[in-house]
Amino acid sequence: MRNKKTIFITGAASGIGLVAAHHFYQMGYRVGMADVNMPLLKEVTAAWDNRNVRLYSVDVSDFLQVSTAITAFCSEYNKQLSVLLNNAGILEIGAFQDITNEQHQRILSVNIAGVINASQAAFPFLKNNGESTIVNMSSASSDYGVPELASYSASKFAVKALTEALELEWHKFGISVCDVMPPFVATNMLSSQEKSAKVMDRLGANLSAEDVVAVIIKQVKSPKTHRTVSLLYSVMHTLSNASPTFINRRVMKFLSR
């Protein structure tokens, strides 16, 4: 089992996580899939070879659950892990004051603490692998705070910062830490929202989960601290980084009218 590549994916029952799991499964990886929805995990992997996939019921905001699952998975493969994909995330669209405090806290717990929990739990197994990669799901909303997505946007700023810090800290252990930054993606997480943000109405959700996974695969093969998804957003991201903050504010103000 030593030479078998392994990947552990959070939020793996649907959307980007499921598409990623299927791609890596087809590439010959041993795949650990974690999600709060175990019945759905079982349903979507019913036809898969169960020798190559392991399913875990996990709430990523609970460190014990995350640690138990990652340890169980890696223990089958010489306590090593090739790739950790921190994909689990939730979203609530609406005016900040209209979203309950409980939901704001839940967004931060899943989107930020979830990344911290999985990364910390996976560290010894990633280190044991000799050369390994963490891919975090960030977002275009980490470039400038997005109205009607305030907590989600804040969480992705945090993920971006964690990525940058750990990329520097863990390089000496042979662990590459990077993220993927897509704009709005047409997944169930977006389509299930009761409301839409004005910026989404203007820009649209023109990317598929497959588009994002193609970039995730690039990150695994050749890690780069930040990788954007789509040519248009890549240009916008570059301009955003080069522009003064007041210009970026004006652009976001226009998009959110």
Does residue 152 have an active-site annotation?
yes
Report the distance separating Cα 53 and Cα 164, nearest Å.
Answer: 30
- Please report the pLDDT score of residue 186 as a whole number: 40
Instruction: Kindly tell me if the per-residue pLDDT of 187 is higher than 80.
Output: no
> Between the ranges 148-157, 176-185, 194-203, 238-247, where is the mean pLDDT highest?
148-157
Using a pLDDT cut of 70, give the percent of the chain over it: 79
Q: For residue 103, give the nearest of 90, 116, 118 by alpha carbon.
A: 90
Angstrom distance (rounded) from CA 76 to CA 128: 14
Longest dimension (CA), the chain: 55
Beta bridge partners of 85: 9, 135
Which residue matches tokens 């995990």? 41
Identify the pLDDT of residue 139. Answer: 87
Q: How far apart are the first and last CA of the chain?
A: 55
What gap in Å lies between CA 145 and CA 142, rounded to an integer?
A: 7
- What whole-number percentage of the chain has pLDDT above 90? 70
pLDDT at 35: 98
Task: Find out whether 213 and 221 touch, Cβ atoms under 8 Å.
Answer: no
Catalytic pick among 29, 56, 77, 152: 152
Instruction: Return the C-alpha torsion angle 7, 11, 14, 16, nearest 10.
Output: -60
For residue 235, the model assigns a pLDDT of 45
- Convert the pLDDT of each residue in 12-46 to its tens digit: 999 999 999 999 999 999 999 999 999 999 999 99
Residue 2 has pLDDT above 80, yes or no: no
Q: Give the model's pLDDT for residue 177.
A: 98
Q: Which residues of 137-147 are buried (b: 16+ CB within 10 A; e: fewer)?
A: bbbbbbbbebb
Q: What's the pLDDT at 249?
A: 55
Alpha carbon 172 to its chain centroid, in Å, reads 23
Quick check: 22 and 85 in contact, CB under 8 A?
A: no
For the chain, how many residues are written?
Answer: 257
| Level-2 CATH architecture, domain 6-255 | 3-Layer(aba) Sandwich (3.40)
Q: What average pLDDT does the chain have? A: 86
pLDDT of residue 166: 98
Secondary structure element (H or E) that encloses residue 152, with its range: helix 150-169
Look at residue 165 in the predicted model and tell me its pLDDT: 98
Domain residue ranges in the chain: 6-255
pLDDT tens-place string over residues 41-88: 999 999 999 999 999 999 999 999 999 999 999 999 999 999 999 999
202-238 per-position pLDDT tens digit:
454 467 889 999 999 999 999 999 999 864 555 455 5
pTM of the full predicted structure? Answer: 0.86
